Amino acid sequence: MTVLTSRCFFKIASIAVLLASVSACANNQSGRNLEQMLAADPRLQDNSVIAFGNSNNNSNQAAANTNIQLPADFPAEIPRYPNAQLQQVTASQTRWITPDPINVVQSFYKNQFQANNWEVRPSEQEGILEAQRDELRVTVTIPAPNQSSTAQPNTAGNTEFTLQYTRDTTVATSTSPDASEQASVPQPGDPDFIGPVPLQQANSTAQTINNNTTQPTAAQSFNDINQVPQELRQYLQDLSALGVLPLQATSKSNSASQFEPNKTVTRREYARWLVAANNRFYVDNPAKQIRKASASTQPAFQDVSASDPDFAAIQGLAEAGLIPSFLSGSSTTVLFRPDAPLTREQMILWKVPIDTRASLPNASVDAVQQTWGFQDAAKIEPRALQAVLADFQNSDRANIRRVFGYTTLFQPKKTVTRAEAAAALWYIGTASEGVSAQDVLRLQQSSPSQATSESPASE
């Protein structure tokens, strides 16, 4: 006991001497060094939270945000800013972040809404953009930095904004003249459904093909229609009924023939069908028809001469600038390769300009990855990349959705079957304006006299 007491006394005395030394030497260099050694670590005061294991909160939060997915009911027709990352999902609202400035984001949505026939509504509150198309209403909130909102530039210089969307189901019923007509519109799950298309709008658009002046190609009746995949069968039936799938360029198809739907389609066949479908859909609208070239025209491709049975269609597409050639500035495209298989990216590259009737937008691999979600976007040719991005803006009427359904792999170099090529041609137009083979058939059935009255004797 005496020994322990002596040791404690010795330690206390040592501490007292040490403190006294520090105080005595406070004004010299040695004292200051000693004082710094004994001082508390300031980091423990400033970052006391670190001691409790919360130092990774920010990084964990950022990692968690990358795993956030869009809800299943997020409307595909809403434009998605290419350089934005999804941060939060709530009921009918999503929050995004982008390193781009506020004015760039505002300009993007304003231009996208106007270009895709949205009704842009003025808002009294700054930083809010409201738009509506059919029954879908969207509010984009991008407030200025001095406004109190989570949708503003944060401390890292990023811009946060929200997309709020609602569907007004009363719009379609209140504007429809006849509820029984509305019920006849194809619904999700039907083979020919391609999106929420009010019947009145489809009929008014398709009315441009009325009053036919020429008799189209005779309808085909393919005896191997049962070999067509079920989800594509209706498309092929409608197109064959219109006679826009000629198997031979120089002669009419037999009344019963083999279509061979699962066989790879060639580039010449698709070019022939593309011109035939477009001109049949717009038979009375010369401004939208693709003019076939005459035999006296200088060929655009070295391997498609004027004597080729498909020269008129292929040359016509080239002269219209719808397929790459030296006429459109592609100096390296001197061969068409008419009998080569058609690939997916070529099918979209040729078809989308006919749908949009406009120049293809600038595109990047990142933009296609963020819109379509394609894992193999980097494998798509640069020009085809533009067409793929433009096709996304057509929402449920996009060719890729209609032909291939939901997919995260585009497989741009994969060949296209004859049935898939036909499905791509079933609808021509954008999400807001266009015409389908079913629209043409409906008008033809409602005016049978126009479909049979054309003949040399009646001219």
Strand partners, 434: 429
Q: Work out the mean pLDDT of the chain and round it to a whole number.
A: 75
Q: What is the pLDDT of residue 254?
A: 46
DSSP annotation string for 359-379: PPPP--HHHHHHHT--TTGGG
**pLDDT level of residue 250 (50, 70, 90 thresholds):** very low
> Among 172-176, 378-382, 437-441, 454-458, whose mean pLDDT is lowest?
454-458
Cα→Cα distances 97→111, 146, 147, 163, 369, Å: 19, 17, 17, 11, 17
Q: Is the pLDDT at 218 greater than 80, yes or no?
A: no
Q: Specify the range with the lowest mean pLDDT, choosing from 23-37, 187-201, 225-239, 340-354.
A: 187-201
Whether the CB-CB separation of 418 and 259 falls below 8 Å is answered with yes
The per-residue pLDDT for 196 is 38
Q: How far apart are CA 409 and CA 386, in angstroms?
A: 17
Q: Please give the residue that has the higher pLDDT: either 399 or 457.
A: 399
- Kind and range of the H or E run holding 441: helix 437-446
pLDDT of residue 347: 97
Q: Give phi and psi for 257, each to the nearest 5.
A: -150, 170
Q: Which of 443, 441, 411 is nearest to 192 (CA)?
A: 441
Helix (H) or strand (E) holding 121: strand 119-121
Crossing angle between the packed helical segments 230-242 and 418-425, to the nearest 10 degrees? 70
Task: Extract the runs of DSSP E, i.e. beta strands, from 198-334.
Answer: 221-222, 256-257
pLDDT band, residue 307 (cuts 50/70/90): very high
Torsion sign across C-alpha atoms 264, 270, 276, 279:
positive
Beta bridge partners of 236: none
101-151 tens-digit pLDDT? 888 888 888 888 887 778 887 666 778 888 888 888 888 888 765 544 444
Residue with tokens 């499905």: 423
- The more confidently predicted of residues 305 and 191 is 305
* Spatial separation of the C-alpha atoms in residues 403 and 416, rounded to whole Å: 10
189: pLDDT strictly greater than 50? no
What is the model's pTM?
A: 0.53
Rounded-to-integer distance, Cα 446 and Cα 459, Å: 22
Q: How far is CA 175 from CA 117, 135, 201, 207, in A?
A: 18, 11, 11, 19
pLDDT band at 310 (very low <50, low <70, confident <90, very high): very high
Structure-block tokens of residue 218 = 């005779």
Give me the residue spans of the domains in the chain: 62-171, 200-342+415-447
In 39-139, which ranges are continuous DSSP H helix? 42-46, 57-65, 102-115
Mean pLDDT over 232-243 rounds to: 90
Q: How far apart are CA 336 and CA 29, in angstroms?
A: 86
**If you average pLDDT over residues 77-97, what whole number do you get?**
85
Q: 331 by DSSP, 3-state: which? A: coil
Over its C-alpha atoms, the chain yields an Rg (Å, rounded) of 33
Q: How confident is the model at residue 448 (pLDDT cuts 50, 70, 90)?
A: low
Res. 437: pLDDT tops 80: yes
Quick: pLDDT tens for 268-303.
Answer: 999 999 999 999 999 989 999 999 999 999 999 999
Instruction: Please report, for residues 185, 208, 209, 277, 417, the alpha-carbon distance to residue 447 in angstroms, rounded to integers and kept in the order given.
Output: 20, 14, 12, 20, 34
CATH assignment, 62-171? 3.30.310
